[in-house]
Amino acid sequence: MSRPVLMATVALASYAALNLALSFVVAAVWRWRAAKQVGILPAARARQLVWLRAIPSLGAAAIIALVIAPAFAIFEPDHESEMAGPLVLVLAAAALLQIGASVVMALATLVRTRAAARAWLRSARPLNVDPPAGVPAYTIESLAPIVALVGIFTPKLIAARTVIDSCTTGELTAIVAHERGHLHARDNLKRWLIACAPDALRWLPWHGELAAAWHDAAEDAADDAATRGDEHARVDLAALLVKIARLTAEPAWTTAAVSPFVEEDGLDRRVRRLLASGERLSNPSRWWPIAATALFCATLAGVSSPAAFERVYQVVESVIRFGR
């Protein structure tokens, strides 16, 4: 292997090993701590879970870019070629499979989302509500009572004519406010990134639990954005969810980049939460992100010295030679 090819292979192998290790760390944090957290604002919990889910891929990439790649570039001597051992080759192949599967899934989701949006918007007309929606909003002709925010980068609000005809002005305002909450939080983009994350956690059982918890928190946060703490508005929104859900029991979306107003799964939980009174919620303590950031910076500082870089390079070299 030439030096550039060897560096790329080492980077891929390091990514596979690091994101696997970090995936199990995230799974442990989820099972022992994050899954049990209650009493915090849904918007704050949704942000926590997004960052927790991003740790395996972002953490692995950061360690490679700031530690492993510089160490290898500094100390790897110039030579015509060097063969990597089977361990590095297997890890590099695993990383390519992870990244390739993630890219394919991301592109497929993007294509399905755009196709669904085009089909729904083919006969669409602008939806005018008071107050204004604050997002491109359209009425569509559909037998299914679709109400959803569709799209990843430029979301659009669509509502079936059957829904528009069956809702009062106040109910339409509540629907728009809920979907606007998803828009401001960029939930469709987050949903897409969570579903297509290029790491080992996506193949572990805890990914589904974490993604479902984020989905619930995002829906609760959008409900809170629509009701703004008003008890009467919460009761009205709960009744509206049941009303829309009764129009049909069949799901009308097949893509991750859609934030529907109501889904059969989770409907009971959302209604019960909206009707619960006296719920006391707070923002989570900020000590743990500060502590985690400080620990990460201290670790980087500790491995950024020439001696530490040389030790990292020696470890990498021993892995390259393993089994050769």
pLDDT at 316: 82
Residues 186, 188, 191, CA angle at the centre, nearest 5°?
A: 110
Q: Which of 83, 75, 65 is nearest to 11 (CA)?
A: 65
pTM summary value: 0.87
| Strands across the sheet containing 137-140 | 125-126, 137-140, 156-160, 147-150, 258-260
pLDDT at 284: 58
Instruction: Name 157's bridge partners.
Output: 137, 149
Q: Three-state SS for 152?
A: coil
pLDDT at 323: 60
Cβ-count burial 26-36 (b if 16+ within 10 Å, e if not) = bbeebeeebee
C-alpha 147/C-alpha 248 separation (Å) is 12
pLDDT at 282: 55
Q: Three-state SS for 150?
A: strand
pLDDT at 302: 61
Instruction: Name 140's bridge partners.
Output: 160
pLDDT at 281: 58
pLDDT at 253: 58
pLDDT at 211: 93
Q: Where are the domains of the chain?
A: 3-321
The pairing of strands 147-150 and 156-160 is antiparallel
List the pLDDT tens digit at each of the 324 positions of the chain: 677 788 889 999 999 999 999 999 999 989 887 767 767 889 999 999 999 999 999 999 988 988 888 888 888 777 666 777 888 899 999 999 999 999 999 999 999 999 888 888 888 898 887 667 778 889 998 777 788 899 999 899 999 888 888 889 899 999 999 999 999 999 999 999 999 999 999 889 899 999 999 999 999 999 999 998 889 999 999 999 999 888 765 555 566 578 888 888 888 999 999 998 656 655 555 555 666 666 666 666 666 667 777 888 788 888 877 766
Handedness of CA 292, 297, 299, 300 (dihedral sign): positive
C-alpha 216/C-alpha 224 separation (Å) is 12
